Structure 1
Amino acid sequence: MRQPTPPVVPPRVPRPTLQSVLRRAHLRLAFVAVTMAAVSLILVAVIALRAYAGNNLNLLARSLGYTVEAALVFGDRIAAAEAIGMIANKEDVAEVIVTDGRGRPFAGWRSPVHSALARFEREVAAIALPGPATTPVLHDGIVVGYVEVRGQGRQLFGFLIGGVGGILACLAISVLGAYVSSQRLLRNIVAPLRALADVAHAVRRERAFELRVEPAAIAELNQLGDDFNALLDELEDWQNNLREENASLEHQANHDSLTGLPNRVQFESRLARALRDAAETGLRVAVLYLDCDRFKEINDCLGHEAGDAVLVGIAARVRTQLREADLVARLGGDEFAVMLAPMREASSAGRIAESLLASMAPTIVLPDGSTVTTTMSIGVALYPDHAADAIGLLRVADAAMYRAKRARPGSWQFAASVTGPA
């Protein structure tokens, strides 16, 4: 008889244990949560840095525009190139292009590329940073040229490298923690990761860079939180640095670099606000237009350093004669303007003009130790007596100053031919 064929027994498939299933599940959970949180933070950081970098480029372009304005007006390409080079060398800038009013190249500066790493930084900046910032250069309200600034991206590149390293470190720590104990992972990993994800969410949605992850019971997750907090610390520091740089550039854009006084743009803006307030209160606003009578002679005979010292001395003396609420600005060259607001009596402007003229009597000490004397001619205009807007007040005050200078240097006059004492 034939022997019966034994039944075919299928091969035994090994089945995973519950512990290994839990370990793999928690490992996947840790990997996904950490990756999402880290990627969200890096994405938010890049977006925030990109926005701040764009603002920084715009402010830098404006600052460069004020710097090269005179060079564009006088066609001095060498001075423009030197000026933008001095500023761009200190900033995270790849390229600066200055064109004249017709769009023709006028001057430029480009950061040198010495290595493959620098070239790679430039390529990353071209992708991640906003496009070049372009601003017109105005002179007396006329566009005389344009300034285009491209970012270098060194800070962004460094952050991306650090961010990728932080992500890898966080993932490595999470993997190690997942294998320690599946039960412990089940109890202790979910809450810390949820807190980390909540912080990343708050940073991404609300820009809450001051939030930090609380310490966790598991050492690896606690280290992950520390690394995450360290990234937040760096991001907060970069944000503060960018704010400080933006504030510095904004100050440069609105103040005269020699005397530290507000420039024409800020003066006209604050004067316009003061006129609006005066229109509501019915009070006067006075504008004094000051011009140094001997500045050209001093500058030509004694040199630019002496001329700068005279301008700084004049600015300091004018400030000491004014109230805290008053404003003094350097409009350009040897011309200054003072805003007195509010003014109840027109005669008060005349008294202040007299005190300003008297303050010029003492000699000014020059850098070489020698001294020089100078006088000022002043034109005074009142709102609403002589003009109804900021530009009109400056214009009639300027005309009164020239009348005073022609009549007698070192004197002052009201607008509309109301003459003050010499």
Structure 2
Amino acid sequence: MQRRETGTARRNLRTVLRRTYLGVSLFSVSVVGISLTVLAMLALRSSADYSLHMIARSMGYTVEAAVVFHDPVAASQAVARQAGDEQNEIAEVVVSDSRGEPMTVWHRDRQETPLQSLAVRSTRWLLPAPIVLPIMHDHVRVGELRVVGYGGRLSEFLLNGLFWILLCLLVSALGALYLSRKMLREIIHPLRGLAQVTHAIRRERAFERRVPHTRIIELNELGNDFNGLLDELEAWERGMQRENAELTHQATRDDLTTLPKRTLFDTYLRQVTENAAPSEHVALLFIDLDRFKVINDSFGHAAGDAALVGVASRIRAQLREGDMAARLGGDEFAVLLVSLRSVDDAVDIARRMLVGMQAPFTLADGQQIPVSISIGIAVLPDHADDAETLMQAADAAMYHAKHQLGGDWQMALAVRTPALDETTHS
């Protein structure tokens, strides 16, 4: 059972490779950028936690005296002086006494843009936990200090990280497009050449085409192997053409005289008679060797073959362009004369053939063989209106000439019927 194709559209190799290369590049850059950003933010959080601990310890020593003497104003001034430094990422400080009652509370007052505020809120999960330290005096707990980090640097780092990741993605995308185009030229061009050669061979039988060389080793080896296969196919094709030509020659040409056989002659006769114009004359000459059996019996079959070859050569010498001579079998020949101006042209050619046969044939041993022929002439449209009737008329005229004295020609009667049993000598 034949499987149905799915509705998924097929993509060419160029699109697949380009998308794959671009996807791999962007994925790699994204993974590397995000990984580096996360590691850097974890390191920054650890550093912020350590820095916040150090600030809390220092602030604890600073407010210790104010807490011991329960002086909120001094405590507030000390906290504001140290926490207000821009370098310290502190959002809130709370100083409590030994009973846990707040002595002073400090909040950072900073003007933020909506984007900065959003960034700070989004990075709160990265901030270290609030630092809570006891305030000690002579190893006695006199109060408590609570410090909350701000996270401005983390948010700034996060925004910068996102910006550089996006920038790297953009640069990577452009670089991937450039490299993918370069890679595609080196891969797709050889494959396209291979496909073009394959299509030319399949559609046009162009076995002389070859795949060009390429710089990529694997593709070059593939092209060389394909070219080697084409060499074998081309040699096989030439061999098949030679064999077909030989078979065609054997099927259509007589081995002894090299004249066309009856099959080829009949085909050409039908084409000529069917395409002949009403005013055009076409003549068919049937030729038979006189006393051919006597030649075979007296001189041998080799002499008979030599006589047939000689007769074919002398007949061929009288042909014009477009005429055809054929050996019908045994000692019978046929000649088709085309584009005649009148019946007299056919008679003139027949007479020249008879004159050409007057000289005897000389064999290899010096013996001479006298040969004569009898010719029957039928003309289209005078004696027939189709190929079959024309052959019958010429054959009947030839036998009439042969049954008389031989060595002469005979014209068929001007009657277009299959029964042409009467002829008249011109």
- Residue matched to 1:307: 304
**Pairwise CA RMSD:** 2.7
Please tell me the residue identity of whatever aligns with 1:238: W
When the two structures are aligned, how many residues end up with a matched partner?
A: 242
- Residue matched to 1:222: 220
Please tell me the residue identity of whatever aligns with 1:332: G
**Is the 8 Å Cα contact of residues 295 and 304 (structure 2) preserved in structure 1?**
yes
After superposition, the Cα gap between the structure-2 partners of 1:348 and 1:188, relative to the gap in structure 1 and judged at 3 Å, is closer
SS at match of 2:263: helix
Q: Deviations over 1:186-210 (max 9, x none)?
A: 8744543443244334434554433
After superposition, the Cα gap between the structure-2 partners of 1:319 and 1:201, relative to the gap in structure 1 and judged at 3 Å, is closer
State the 1:215 CA deviation.
1.0
Alignment partners' CA distance in 2, 1:239 and 1:411: 50
Q: Deviations over 1:352-393 (max 9, x none)?
A: 211111111111122333210111011111111111211211
Q: Deviations over 1:77-96 (max 9, x none)?
A: xxxxxxxxxxxxxxxxxxxx
Alignment partners' CA distance in 2, 1:296 and 1:215: 68
**Is the 8 Å Cα contact of residues 275 and 390 (structure 1) preserved in structure 2?**
yes
Please tell me the residue identity of whatever aligns with 1:380: I
- Residue matched to 1:371: 368
Q: Which aligned pairs between 1:84-95 and structure 2 lie closer than 5 A? A: none
State the 1:281 CA deviation.
4.3
- Residue matched to 1:353: 350
Alignment partners' CA distance in 1, 2:203 and 2:351: 58
Q: Which aligned pairs between 1:122-137 and structure 2 lie closer than 5 A? A: none
- Residue matched to 1:265: 263
Sequence identity (%) = 52
Q: Deviations over 1:72-123 (max 9, x none)?
A: xxxxxxxxxxxxxxxxxxxxxxxxxxxxxxxxxxxxxxxxxxxxxxxxxxxx
- Residue matched to 1:255: 253
- Residue matched to 2:279: 282
SS at match of 1:291: strand
State the 1:395 CA deviation.
1.4
- Residue matched to 2:229: 231
State the structure with more CA Rg.
2
- Residue matched to 1:113: none
- Residue matched to 2:294: 297
Is 1:405 matched with 2:410? no
Q: Deviations over 1:306-339 (max 9, x none)?
A: 1110000000001112212211111000000111
After superposition, the Cα gap between the structure-2 partners of 1:198 and 1:392, relative to the gap in structure 1 and judged at 3 Å, is same
Alignment partners' CA distance in 2, 1:206 and 1:317: 43
After superposition, the Cα gap between the structure-2 partners of 1:220 and 1:353, relative to the gap in structure 1 and judged at 3 Å, is same
| TM-score normalised to structure 1 length | 0.53
Q: Deviations over 1:236-288 (max 9, x none)?
A: 2211221222122112211111101111111111111111232x242111111
Q: Which aligned pairs between 1:14-413 and structure 2 lie closer than 5 A? A: 188-278=186-276, 280-413=277-410
Alignment partners' CA distance in 1, 2:398 and 2:215: 76
- Residue matched to 1:420: 425
After superposition, the Cα gap between the structure-2 partners of 1:318 and 1:218, relative to the gap in structure 1 and judged at 3 Å, is same
Alignment partners' CA distance in 2, 1:318 and 1:264: 16
- Residue matched to 1:181: none
Alignment partners' CA distance in 2, 1:402 and 1:251: 30
Please tell me the residue identity of whatever aligns with 1:360: M
Please tell me the residue identity of whatever aligns with 1:276: E
Unaligned runs of 5+ in 2: 1-16, 22-181, 414-421
Alignment partners' CA distance in 2, 1:352 and 1:199: 54
**Is the 8 Å Cα contact of residues 305 and 367 (structure 1) preserved in structure 2?**
no
Please tell me the residue identity of whatever aligns with 2:248: E
Alignment partners' CA distance in 2, 1:408 and 1:186: 87
Alignment partners' CA distance in 2, 1:358 and 1:329: 20
Please tell me the residue identity of whatever aligns with 1:359: G
Mean CA deviation greater in 216-225 or 311-320? 216-225
**Is the 8 Å Cα contact of residues 411 and 420 (structure 1) preserved in structure 2?**
no
After superposition, the Cα gap between the structure-2 partners of 1:194 and 1:413, relative to the gap in structure 1 and judged at 3 Å, is closer
After superposition, the Cα gap between the structure-2 partners of 1:298 and 1:201, relative to the gap in structure 1 and judged at 3 Å, is same
Alignment partners' CA distance in 1, 2:318 and 2:184: 74
SS at match of 1:377: strand
- Residue matched to 2:125: none
**Is the 8 Å Cα contact of residues 350 and 420 (structure 1) preserved in structure 2?**
no
**Is the 8 Å Cα contact of residues 400 and 423 (structure 2) preserved in structure 1?**
no
**Is the 8 Å Cα contact of residues 309 and 367 (structure 1) preserved in structure 2?**
no
- Residue matched to 1:90: none
Alignment partners' CA distance in 1, 2:288 and 2:390: 16
SS at match of 1:357: helix
Q: Deviations over 1:42-61 (max 9, x none)?
A: xxxxxxxxxxxxxxxxxxxx
Alignment partners' CA distance in 1, 2:353 and 2:271: 25
| TM-score normalised to structure 2 length | 0.52
Alignment partners' CA distance in 2, 1:232 and 1:281: 52
State the 1:344 CA deviation.
1.8
Alignment partners' CA distance in 2, 1:205 and 1:350: 51
SS at match of 1:342: strand
After superposition, the Cα gap between the structure-2 partners of 1:185 and 1:345, relative to the gap in structure 1 and judged at 3 Å, is closer
Please tell me the residue identity of whatever aligns with 1:241: G
**Is the 8 Å Cα contact of residues 323 and 338 (structure 2) preserved in structure 1?**
yes
Please tell me the residue identity of whatever aligns with 1:378: I
Please tell me the residue identity of whatever aligns with 1:333: G
Alignment partners' CA distance in 2, 1:198 and 1:267: 43
After superposition, the Cα gap between the structure-2 partners of 1:341 and 1:200, relative to the gap in structure 1 and judged at 3 Å, is closer
SS at match of 1:368: coil
- Residue matched to 1:140: none
